[in-house]
Structure 1
Amino acid sequence: MDPFIGTAATALPQPRGLAATWWWPKPQVGNTHPGATSPLGMVSACAYSGAYPTGYGRYAKNTEGVPEEMFDRLQASGFTHFQQSGTGAIRKYYNYVRVTPMVQPLDDLGSSWPLANEVAEPGYYAATLGTGVRCEITVGAKVAVHRYTFPEHSNARVVVDLSCGGLAIELGRTVPLRAHAESLGHGRMQGTVVMEGVPLSVHVEVDSPRWRQMLWYDRRLIDGGTRLDFDSIRPTTLRPFGMLYMGPTTAGQTVEIRLGFSLRGCDQARRNLELECGGNGPAFDRVCAATRERWQDHLGRVRFEGGTPARRRVMTTALYHSLIKPCFADDESPFWPNSGPFAFDVCTMWDIYKTQLPLLSAIAPDRATDLLESLIRVCEEEGNFPIGYRMARGADRFFRQASALAHTALADAHALGRPGLDWNWALVHMVDDLRRMYGEDFFEHGVVHPISHTLDLAFAHHCTAQVARALNDVSLADDLERRSRGWVNAFDPATGLLRDSEFYEGGKWNYSFRLLHDMAARIALGGGDTAFVDNLDRFFGFGAPPVLQPGRRPEPAEMAAGYALQRFEGLNNEPDMEAPWAYHYAGRPDRTTQIVHSALTWQFGTGPGGLPGNDDSGGLSAWYVWASLGLFPVAGQNLFLVNAPAFAQGAIRVGDRELVVETSGHVETPIGADGIEHDPPPQYVQAVTFNGRELDATHLSGTEVHRGGRLHIRLGPQPSSWGGRARPPSLSDPRRGSGGTA
């Protein structure tokens, strides 16, 4: 497992074959960070340079091509908490409570020093600052523990900067609105900063008897002062402030600093620290071991056999990245007083609803239910289901991406019989949310622009109708299902594609191959199987010459020529993630195999440049996990599509059961003398059995997958007739979907 994958600009081998025809306009960088994390935990911690978008690394904000560098070296001014993972197009994000070990005067706080000898493992991050201090960090669910090994010095110090927040890019800084800090004596201090309307509290403990503890303001010590209070802070009046521990060190002496966090005040932050770190005394090794054990448990929920060492490393890291977000802070909501789950960093539903949420539903079902409960509470408190939700108050700026996506996860959870949710109450909010934002226009006209929102809203109506029908509200279900047929208004029958409109990060080709609830009618609208496949073939570049990817600072003419290709953007764009599986609905799963195989081979690799684009909060990595297992979840339809897996055998733990995916005829990828995979040919599905029964159809229901069992896939070097007749289920064609198991 390698947490450094995705932390640098894309650096993959030059693709060959089909993958060489794909064009990626979006930023070619994974935007991940190697810092310490806990599975779906509240807290992360990493070296802080102020770079975009996580605070770690070297890159500036960019929207297309190869990212530009802000710095010519890896560097850090300290170590911050709460980082994003793999997102893009966000100008400021977290990086609160910077901790800096120093042997320099306080005036040098904020300076950046070279970063060397980095080590990253699940739950652990370490590096050496250019000051000579060796720095190690681990985290629990709600705590962070830092351990610093100092050189000999008469006046070493550990500085906690409560004023830090955001990024070093233009307009990227986050300024606290209000703040409080106090020294409690005996190595203990605490404080609260209100950032973007959210009160973040921290309780800090250090065991170092010969050291002094003080508060500081504007890089000046407040000798003897025990409190700092700021009732209102403006960007023009902000001066740095925080806490400081200082004293002599011998060469190799370690100092441990423990931080407990809470969104409900300092007392709860202290209790969180006590719960995870125990009483006084060193806690680093204990917290690190507990978090490592949690990671081993979560990463063990997907297993696989075979594959090259590189494939295994990429697969394990993809699973790791899939389990960093969303963040769960149980009993910590600052917006409502009740206990229960509070989830943030849903960044965003547009990124994660197709792949990551179905993965959480399978391998972490309790957490998936907690997420839905939290989203229902957000809808209750704030008036709508969010597309993006973070640790901040304010309008959901991500509504431009899509509409009503939480409905897909809710529909799947209900179809699976997930306990723990009040489904009648959930249905109330699902229905109400359909009328908000663009939903009002859809309700009145049956179509809305951006035209992709028409597809979102039509599908959300279908998802909501399934829940309403299961709850015996027949009239509501009939009305919702009638409105769900409005997807047809988004398409131009003359082209079989979406109508001209504006689109969020893509064009009408990218959005035209959504896996709708009525794919039979969708394909018929476009002229039938042959016409539909022809459009797909053009989109995926079959028979097209190789293209050149945008470089650094691409010229407008270069970008315009690329967009004019109307080409698949690989896995660099969220709307394209499900498009390869559209072939299944036209009886051509062999085409799906070719595309997925090319993507797995050429768009993922080892090393910091091993991702083709933003990891999108784990959505891209979750795609890799599903595709490698030979499955793809169709969100909102309780459905999985079957394809050729990348490993000889894999298994996924679904709740307390396991689905085993085994193959016969699997051929391992050849490795050249240079250690690189050399253009392996795809392997096609010849026949499938599920629990010993022949499976003619190219799908399984979500219920079947979640019951577990044994899926056997026979592979061969040439396409077969498998999947040519029995298509995945479609609303208007009851004959479709035959060939599956009961």
Structure 2
Amino acid sequence: MRRHLPFLLLPTVLADTFDPLPLIDPLIGSTNGGNVFAGATRPYGLAKPVADVDGQNTGGFATDGSNVVGFSSIHDSGTGGNPSLGNFPLFPQVCANDEVNGCNFRIGDRATAYVADSVIAHPGYFAVDLVSGIHADMVASERAALFRFVFPEGENQHPLVLLDLTDLWQSRQNASINVDSESGRLKGNGTFLPSFGAGSYMMHFCVDFFGGAVYDSGVWVNNRGGTEPKDLYVTRGFNLFYLEAGGWVRFEGLANNTVTARVGISFISADQACHSAETEIPGPLDGDFDRLATEAEDAWREKLDPVSINPGGASKDLQSSFWSGLYRTMISPQNYTGENPKWDSGIPYFDSFYCIWDSFRVQHPILTIVDPKAQVQMVNSLLDMYQNEGWLPDCHMSFCNGWTQGGSNADVVLVDAYVKNLTGIDWELALKAIIQDAEVEPLEWAYHGRGGLQSWKDLLYIPYLDFDPVGFGTNSRSISRTLEYAYNDYCLSTLARGLGYEDLYDKYVTRSANWQNLWSDEQNSTIKGNDTGFTGFFQPKYQNGTWGFQDPIACSALADFCSLTTNPSETFEASIWQYQFLVPQSMSALIGLMGAEKRFVERLDFFHTSGLADISNEPVFSTVYLYHYAGRPGLSTKRLHTYIPSSFNTSNGGLPGNDDSGSMGGFVVFGMLGLFPIAGQDVYLISAPFFEEVNITSPLTGQTARIKAVGFDAAYENIYIQNVTVNGQPWTKSWIGHALFTEGWTLEVVLGNQESDWGTKVEDRPPSWGEAIVKL
């Protein structure tokens, strides 16, 4: 079988220059529900070609042993729910008896297994062999993809490449295609549904073929193709039955049995798709393939360049987890500048915020450190959506609003950028946008804004079975929405005070305490009839102030999963046991409600050791580090080591759940840095790093932050911080601010194998607004 060794395996940098790319494995999370995009892409690139399979295909490709059904040029990464994008896949094959109708057109018929050990995934490059003997490899520019299909040698055959007017989800509503009989160019478009949201989007394509002459061409419907007509328009089909259809081209006189396909993608028009492809890939047979791969590698090196590590003996697998996690944080959101069909504000435009409920916690904070320019552009894109669509989104993909999962968490992203002093953002506009979330209920709050605001203002909580005639959404999640609205209001108060609006600060910081109104002091929790020994949990409450009931373990890993649509509950995708810890603005008050530090630590331990904690879901991330707030920061590091590398490792199934646009990657990166961000606050919790030294140079200031571990051992017996210095001076606080990065401080931690008294004093714990309910 013909194999192409990619040029990118050759040395591309000087021997004394560290290159992180060989340590990046895009296949981490390519099975076991990680749903990562494993194909070729540039940082935040629109074009994302990969092989699409009929198994775990949310990100297109999976190493689950399923079959390849196409090669498409645009994807999202790490998402849950329905597969996203994967529009207009190509599929190469040799027709039986050299007859068009000897080919397999329909998805189920053409599905072909791939050779497992043939898969090559590298930043900017992807390759795979099919058991049919066809080899495929691919690279990407910003808005176009380049595929090479190498067919097995054979006489009197005319290889065929088809285009399917579909997407991964088969959500197509209608589509059209034109086949140029002379050149074989395929042009057209289709209307599709977003995989997790409302509305629809239109996408356009332009495909050109190189390497041989056109033998014949035409269109196909279901399992038959013909040379006439050359144009086709298709809807979903009779009674919404999904009609499979597209176009095809056969070739003759192929050089080296290779067809090269250039695919332009556009949300504006097919002509723009052609223009992007012609401009970005003018010479598909004249070195563009290698050039695109090299440019992608260079782009990734540039993005990763601010970071360097001295592993100090840490394993190659841990280094690979670190660099691969950082890589995945820069796949999405995607830069769609010039491709917005709805408006053009003349500024960079990013989309595929899929979804902010996941990404606000760690992904956007890591970008704020290592790629603040892109983060500013993303924040401005969110404000651009507010100005042109009327609201900040909580989720957005394919120019459509995604479903809101909890609160209005774009608020947190904006305020996190503010407290970390990002510039080039209209903060007065940001304040206006967030106040609208807090004060004005949209008619349909299922995909932006907040529902139940009248109850929020009058009752100071979101009631169970709320009467809300003002707006409409899924009438559920009363507990998780109460907690998230409270933190959204806290973030709003932070921005208001920073801009000098003390009256607004007082109003919203007071509202940020509303979470306490759903705390039931008497509620206990049992598992299989056995009392857990803990009393006091959040519970739903009716409008009249009486308590409802939700079992605290419901929606946990010990019970049934609770989704937004199939079995909505009063907590979203997580249990009351999980949500009880999510009060980042007032942890001291929460600790008081739970019986002071000792009982809080015992409750955290039980949560993480009983099977209740689901590290595959982002709300658990912060709970790993909450020991800091109880004066036990060493236990945070100890807890982290129970998840890395057991749940986060370099295997193909090495993520515990959906990567969620790089959120899982961000968690790994921060954990190994020895820091954890409290998004919306200028707070990083300090823990023991996984490497001897990490350096991060701020792209804004040019200053280099240094995180050094004294007494580091790669066996991780010394994981407890004994003392800390910052710029050579003692630092007793268990947290630090963003100036570490912008001012280039040196953070030095001395490690040992036993807990110390560092960071244990009340005054050295992370900040917490409000008085503790029980005196600590």
Q: Confirm or deny a common fold (TM above 0.5).
A: yes
2:207 corresponds to: 204
Alignment correspondent of 1:553: none
Cα distance in 2 between the residues matched to 1:490 and 1:706: 40
Aligned counterparts of 2:132 and 2:59: Cα–Cα separation in 1: 20
Deviation, 1:462, is 1.3
Of the structure 1 ranges 406-415 and 444-453, higher mean CA displacement relative to structure 2 is found in 444-453
The farther-off stretch of 255-264 and 177-186 is: 177-186
Structure 1 residue 37 corresponds to structure 2 residue 41: yes
2:167 aligns to what? 165
Q: How do 1:527-566 and structure 2 match up within 5 A?
A: 527-541=595-609, 565=610
8 Å CA contact 1:49–1:75 kept in 2: the answer is yes
Which residue identity is paired with 1:374? S
1:609-655, Cα deviation, whole Å (9 max, x unpaired): 22222222211111000000000010001211100011111123332
Counterpart amino acid of residue 393 in structure 2: P
Range moving further from structure 2, 128-137 or 596-605: 596-605
User: Is the 8 Å Cα contact of residues 55 and 166 (structure 1) preserved in structure 2?
Assistant: no
CA distance in 2, matches of 1:396, 1:280: 37
RCO higher in structure (CA 8 A, sep ≥6): 1
1:141 partner amino acid: E
**Aligned-partner SS, 1:374:** helix
Q: Which residue, 71, 76, 94 being the options, matches 2:85?
A: 94
2:140 is aligned with 1:139: yes
Number of aligned residue pairs: 660
Which residue number in structure 2 is paired with residue 417 of structure 1? 421
Distance 1:722 1:158, change over 3 A: farther
**Which segment is superposed worse, 268-277 or 38-47?**
268-277
Structure 1, 714-723 or 364-373: larger mean CA deviation: 364-373
The answer to whether the 8 A contact 2:179-2:219 is kept is no
**614-623 vs 200-209, which deviates more?**
200-209
Match of 1:352 in 2: 359
Whole-Å separation in 1 of the counterparts to 2:723 and 2:593: 30
2:460 — aligned with what?
446
Contact map agreement 1:416 1:702 (CA 8 A) in 2 = yes
Equivalent residue of 2:119, what SS? strand
Deviation at 1:504, TM superposition (A): 1.6
Aligned to 1:722: 758
Decide whether aligned partners of structure 1 residues 469 and 113 sit closer, same or farther in structure 2, where only a CA change above 3 A counts: same
Structure 2 letter corresponding to 1:491: W
- Determine if contact 1:378/1:385 at 8 Å carries over to the other structure: yes
| RMSD between superposed Cα atoms in Å | 2.5
1:647-675 Cα distance to aligned partner (Å, 9 max, x none): 11112333243322111100112xxxxxx
Whole-Å Cα distance in 2 between the matches of residues 433 and 185 of structure 1?
55
Shift of 1:56: 4.2
Cα distance between partner residues in 2 of 1:648 and 1:335? 49
CA contact (8 A) 1:211 1:245 kept: yes
Is the Cα–Cα contact under 8 Å of residues 30 and 61 in structure 2 kept in the other structure?
Answer: yes
1:604-683 superposed matches below 5 A: 604-655=648-699, 656-669=702-715, 680-681=716-717, 683=719
Say if 1:125 and 1:136, in contact at 8 Å, map to a contact too. Answer: yes
Report the Cα distance in structure 2 between the residues aligned to 1:362 and 1:180, rounded to whole angstroms.
Answer: 44
One-letter amino acid of the counterpart of residue 614, structure 1: N
User: In the alignment, does 2:128 pair up with 1:127?
Assistant: yes
Q: CA deviation at 1:51?
A: 2.2
Q: How does 1:304-703 map to 2 (within 5 A)?
A: 304-306=309-311, 307-391=314-398, 393=400, 396-397=402-403, 399=404, 401-435=405-439, 436=441, 437-440=450-453, 441-448=455-462, 449-494=477-522, 495-500=535-540, 501=550, 502-541=570-609, 565=610, 567-569=612-614, 571-655=615-699, 656-669=702-715, 680-681=716-717, 683-703=719-739
Give, in whole Å, the separation in 1 of the partners of 2:61 and 2:371: 31
CA contact (8 A) 1:304 1:650 kept: yes
Partner SS for 1:668 = coil
The structural deviation recorded for 1:267 is 2.6
What is the match of residue 674 of structure 1? none
Write the letter of the residue equivalent to 2:612: R
CA separation of 1:254/1:717 partners in 2, compared to 1, >3 Å: closer, same or farther? same
Q: Which runs of 5+ in 1 are unaligned?
A: 10-28, 60-68, 168-172, 542-564, 670-679, 735-742
**Counterpart pick for 1:288 among 277, 289, 293:** 293
For residue 489 of structure 1, give the secondary structure of its aligned residue in structure 2.
helix
TM-score (norm 2): 0.80
- What CA distance in whole angstroms lies between the structure 1 residues aligned with 2:766 and 2:279? 49
Report the more deviating stretch, 379-388 or 439-448: 379-388
CA shift, 1:344, in A, is 2.5
Question: What's 2:219 paired with?
Answer: 216
Question: Residue in 2 aligned with 1:556?
Answer: none
Instruction: Classify the secondary structure of the residue corresponding to 2:662.
Output: helix
The aligned amino acid for 1:202 is F
1:62-141 aligned at under 5 Å gives the runs 73-88=65-80, 90-104=81-95, 105=100, 107-109=103-105, 110=107, 111-116=110-115, 117-141=118-142
Question: What's the % identity of the aligned pairs?
Answer: 27
1:252 to 242, 251, 256: 256
Q: What is the match of residue 11 of structure 2?
A: none
314 and 416 in structure 1: CA distance in 2 versus 1, 3 angstrom threshold? closer
Q: Which amino acid in 2 is paired with 1:567?
A: L
Amino acid at match of 2:294: A
User: Aligned equivalents of 1:54 and 1:667: distance in 2?
Assistant: 39
How far off its partner does 1:148 sit? 1.5
Equivalent positions of 1:142-157 (< 5 A) are: 142-153=143-154, 154-157=156-159
> How big is each residue's C-alpha offset from its partner over 1:178-222, in whole Å with a ceiling of 9 and x where there is no partner?
435353854543222122221211222222352246341315555
* CA distances 1:11-53 after superposition (whole Å, capped 9, x unpaired): xxxxxxxxxxxxxxxxxx3222422222111121221223234
Q: Which one-letter code corresponds to 1:718 in the other structure?
A: Q
Paired position in structure 2 for 1:22: none
Who is 2:16 aligned against? none
Residue 51 of structure 2, aligned match among 47, 54, 58: 47
Question: Which one of the candidate residues 171, 176, 179 is aligned to 2:173?
Answer: 176
Worse overlay, 383-392 or 722-731: 383-392
Displacement after TM superposition at 1:439 (Å): 4.9
**Distance change in 2, residues 1:588/1:372 (3 Å):** same
The alpha carbon displacement at 1:238 in A equals 5.3
User: Please, what TM-score do these two structures have when normalized by structure 1?
Assistant: 0.84
- Kindly state the Cα deviation for residue 493 of structure 1 after the two structures are TM-superposed: 4.0
Paired residue type of 2:402: D
Structure 2 counterpart of 1:144, one-letter code: A
Contact 1:177 1:234 in 2 (8 A): no
Which secondary structure does the structure 2 equivalent of 1:181 belong to? strand
Q: Which residue of 2 aligns with 1:5?
A: 28
